Amino acid sequence: MTAFAFDAYVTAALFERSGRAAFALGDGTVRFETGETVEAHPNGSVQCAAPHPSGEGVVTGGDDGRLVWSKADGAVELADARGRWIDAVAAAPETGLIAYAVGKEARVLDAKDAAFARVFAHERSVADLAFDAKGRKLACATYGGAAVWFARIAEQKPQTLKWAGSHVGVVWSPDGKFLVTAMQENALHGWRLSDAKDMRMGGYPAKIKSLSFLAKGMLLATSGANGAVVWQFTGNNGPMGKEAAEIGHDESAMVTRVSGAPDKTVLAAGLDDGRLWVADLKTSKLERVKAEKGAAVTALSLSPKADRLAWGDEDGGAGVLAVAV
């Protein structure tokens, strides 16, 4: 394992398409595993991050109101929200679109067209964003549910998915049939988009801060319990009527982050005591790839080939390690 000590909260650990790891930090910098440091937000901290749609570098949103594209050779400002915080960012490699949340607005840019801009307004603040697999639709998590927009259309009414409470995270199923949100309470909520049928997915002992589909969309893994909670998304009904499984249960710790391989049954998890494990859900093999304890894991990502794992914690510890399960 290659280890780092950054002395700043690790907001995100991501991989470029080439397989190189990058870390977005609370001190406003983006650090690459090859040694480069980019001052993305000199007067602020990184609040959110996503891989750039091109596959090169990282897009970050900061509490300085700036949206920045950081590559190993420097940073480029993509947008300035004039001092307002950027709380969420999402990118779509398929269409080159980048979305970011500023208060009650979801704003969309095109990485290949500087003149393109869309603004989608909501009644309450937008907490999280996600593009569907084709990069054409944008889901926004907010208070009272979620809104789904066609990302390129200027004048429209969104598909509104209602459920009482504050929704703070959002993810699409890869086939585009289901949308799932993490709530401020200890629960998920989901919708089948064809008929907006609700899916209640509760029973969690803690808040769910991380969601990841894997196995070609057949499984959804989440944090928020003593193990990684895994829901089945097979068939037309998804997880409706099915019970979740719990992987890697450990009474002494809670899972804080998960990352699944899109096309494989490989799942990685980070714990609140600093440990990491990787499992193959097909063979039930689980390997504790970082056994030493430390600060809570705050960032986790499998590489595009699912052969490497990047992680970071709340004290600035971070690393990249090989995966073989």
List all residues 6 or more positions away from 112 whose beta carbon is below 8 Å from its beta carbon. Answer: 96
- Is-contact 297 279, C-beta < 8 A? no
DSSP 203: -
Alpha helices per DSSP H over the chain: none
- Residues in the chain with pLDDT values less than 70: none
How many CA atoms lie less than 13 Å away from 151 in the CB half-sphere? 27
Q: Is 71 helix (H, G, I), strand (E, B) or coil?
A: strand
* Tokens linked to 287: 């390997």
CB atoms within 10 A of CB 280: 17
Question: What pLDDT was estimated at residue 98?
Answer: 98
Residue 79, judged by CB atoms within 10 A of its CB (0-12, 13-18, 19+), counts as: middle
> CA-to-CA distance for 308 and 2, rounded, in angstroms?
11
DSSP 158: P
Q: Is the pTM of this model over 0.75?
A: yes
Cα 83 from chain centre: 24
DSSP 233: -
> CA-to-CA distance for 203 and 188, rounded, in angstroms?
9
Q: How many residues does the chain have?
A: 325
> CA-to-CA distance for 280 and 80, rounded, in angstroms?
42
Identify the CATH class of 204-325: mainly beta
Question: What pLDDT was estimated at residue 236?
Answer: 86
Sheet holding 88-92, edge to edge: 88-92, 97-102, 105-110, 113-121
- Is-contact 287 1, C-beta < 8 A? no
List all residues 6 or more positions away from 35 whose beta carbon is below 8 Å from its beta carbon. Answer: none
Q: How far is CA 280 from CA 248, 266, 287, in A?
A: 11, 4, 9
List all residues 6 or more positions away from 216 whose beta carbon is below 8 Å from its beta carbon. Answer: 174, 262, 263
Question: What pLDDT was estimated at residue 109?
Answer: 98
- Is-contact 294 3, C-beta < 8 A? no
Question: What pLDDT was estimated at residue 235?
Answer: 85
Place of tokens 């190189």: 20
